Structure 1
Amino acid sequence: MVKSKTEQLIIDELERLAPTHGVDIVDVEITGATKAPCVRVRLEGEGGASLSLDEVCAQTAWVSDAVEALDPIASPYTLEVSSPGLDRPLRRPSDFMRFQGETCELTTTATEGRRRFKGVIAAASDTSATLELEDGERLEFAFDDIKKCTLKPVFDFKQKEGKN
């Protein structure tokens, strides 16, 4: 996955510390203005377990201390620590393997004039992921070319048979 140097620096440090706190770092993203960016850290329990709001709050102190010790951003910034949510980012090969069969939206470096793709994760390996698009076409993407990928949950709002 394509990450900025600063994002990768933060990810590496948090992943080094996370096991001692019983969590897994899902993603780190720096967004917003250059003068006052937002550093978003998404985490979950080990093995993909969900975290409650209280559990996320309890993790915020060590995350804040770790990011502050790195001092990766010269200007003031906002730190957000949260769970991944429904539109969970996928960053590692293991994420793509875990969510095989799920729908995602992927942004990649320019590929024949197209950069955004939406489809079902049909396959994943240590080096690439294959999406099956809505028209049935299958495209393989090297992880080094993927800029961003998020799950896109599919909701079925049809009423179940026998229910009014």
Structure 2
Amino acid sequence: MAKERVTDIVERLALPIVEAEHVELVDVEYKKEGTNWYLRVFIDKPEGVDIDDCSRVSEQLSEQLDIVDPIPNAYFLEVSSPGAERPLKKPADYVRAIGEHVHISLYEPLDGQKTFEGILCNYDESVLELEIRVKTRTNRLEIPTEKIAQARLAVEM
């Protein structure tokens, strides 16, 4: 059996906590920056999270992490909002983002490009439709979801 990833364990521990706090678990990251390890948990809710939401989730999650102890080395736990450029990971994230300005990065080029920004017009589990502006024209582009490396909301400039 494959060893379970730290992020999967943390997600499993965090889900009941965020549900009880009426917030959404957006993402979990575990990464090394310089000589330090960071465990980042991103939460959100429709009206946005505040410092009290982050604090409550952090305290409860910290207790669970101390009990389960899935991380052998020292790390910093950070619980925060994903910010204005929230990642799109789950199908529900894409559906919620329909009509919003998004940034899409691909694993391989499509029409000679690997990144696109535009309005997300439609989404299903196999393809998304993006409305992009090219100079004075507006075009619609279909992107197969298996080609998407990363997607996020984007602040329109």
Same fold (TM over 0.5): yes
Question: 1:131: which partner in 2?
Answer: 130
Q: Aligned equivalents of 1:69 and 1:111: distance in 2? A: 45
Percent identical residues: 23
Question: 1:12: which partner in 2?
Answer: 12
1 or 2, which has the higher strand percentage? 2
Q: Summarize the Cα distance change of 1:102–1:55 in structure 2 as closer, same or farther, 3 Å threshold.
A: same
Question: Contact between 2:18 and 2:57, CA under 8 Å: does it hold in 1?
Answer: no
Q: Summarize the Cα distance change of 1:111–1:12 in structure 2 as closer, same or farther, 3 Å threshold.
A: farther
Cα RMSD (Å): 2.7
Write the mapping of 1:109-128 to structure 2, written as runs, cut at 5 A. Answer: 109-112=107-110, 114-128=113-127
**Counterpart check, 1:75 vs 2:78:** no
Question: Contact between 1:104 and 1:118, CA under 8 Å: does it hold in 2?
Answer: yes
Q: Summarize the Cα distance change of 1:32–1:137 in structure 2 as closer, same or farther, 3 Å threshold.
A: farther
Unpaired runs of 5+ in structure 2?
A: none
Q: Aligned equivalents of 1:82 and 1:40: distance in 2? A: 8
Q: Aligned equivalents of 2:53 and 2:131: distance in 1? A: 36
Query: Hey, which bits of structure 1, 4+ residues long, moved more than 6 A?
Result: none
Q: Deviations over 1:62-105 (max 9, x none)?
A: 12233444544332221110112111111111111111111111
Question: 2:84: which partner in 1?
Answer: 86
**Counterpart check, 1:150 vs 2:152:** yes
Question: Contact between 2:21 and 2:53, CA under 8 Å: does it hold in 1?
Answer: no
Q: Summarize the Cα distance change of 1:122–1:57 in structure 2 as closer, same or farther, 3 Å threshold.
A: same
Question: Contact between 1:36 and 1:75, CA under 8 Å: does it hold in 2?
Answer: no
Q: Summarize the Cα distance change of 1:61–1:146 in structure 2 as closer, same or farther, 3 Å threshold.
A: farther
Q: Summarize the Cα distance change of 1:98–1:71 in structure 2 as closer, same or farther, 3 Å threshold.
A: same
Unpaired runs of 5+ in structure 1?
A: 156-164
Structure scoring higher RCO (CA < 8 A, sep ≥ 6) equals: 1
Question: 1:158: which partner in 2?
Answer: none
